[in-house]
Chain A
């Protein structure tokens, strides 16, 4: 079946620290992979995506590489800001395109 496993939170970092949020997946076929971000009091927003193996998605300084050999899509940012405080969700869309599978979310707090 299809599923997504994210690292447990919450994560607390100081401003300008390096961020990694781990995400691994199980899927049949060749899914597309996504990171969504949810800021306090808001709905989810697409942060980045990758549609095939070895693709790198990037946006707002965040990056994630689709690694088929390790079934992973880890989110990274070199220098976090207070404004990056949010909940981050990894998600998978099977190549059948009929439903998203979301991870449980990782809460990030960045302190000045």
Chain B
């Protein structure tokens, strides 16, 4: 079992460029999440998908879009990157909603210049 995988591991973008962060899980989990981690702050939820076919905004959704492509995959898209989006992005999955243990991927370190 690979668990939760994320690609890429590192990325540098120029302001205004777009990119998609990929996430996949092989645990047959229903729920998936995207968080960002910034220095001096805890993880903050960007978007989540409680089940295949549904997505909901989290605490900091502005500037992002998501797609739950199928049960395994949940992508995060930055349409026009800004320096404020420089962060480490974590994808997570759980069996069913927030009351279940979340399993995290290794993260993507994104720098926007």
A89 and B40 CA atoms in complex are apart in Å by 12
- A43 CB–B CB distance under 8 Å: yes
Q: Which residues of A contact B69 (CB under 8 A)?
A: none
Within 8 A of A (CB), among B27-72: 40-45, 58-59
CB within 8 Å for A97 and B98 given contacts A102-B42, A104-B40, A104-B42: yes
Chain B interface mostly: loop
For chain A, the bracket of interface size reads: 20 to 34
- In the complex, the answer to whether A42 meets B106 with C-beta atoms within 8 Å is yes
A93, A98, A105: the one within 8 Å of B42 (CB): A105
Minimal beta-carbon separation of A99 from chain B (angstroms): 6
- In the complex, the answer to whether A41 meets B42 with C-beta atoms within 8 Å is no
A41, A89, A98: the one within 8 Å of B43 (CB): A89
- In the complex, the answer to whether B43 meets A99 with C-beta atoms within 8 Å is no
Minimal beta-carbon separation of A9 from chain B (angstroms): 11
A4 and B107 CA atoms in complex are apart in Å by 23
List 9 other contacts, CB 8 Å, given A44-B90, A93-B98, A97-B97: A43-B105, A44-B43, A46-B101, A89-B42, A100-B43, A100-B98, A100-B102, A104-B41, A104-B42
> What are 8 sample pairs from A and B whose C-beta atoms fall under 8 A apart?
A91-B42, A93-B98, A97-B98, A97-B99, A98-B98, A99-B45, A102-B42, A105-B42
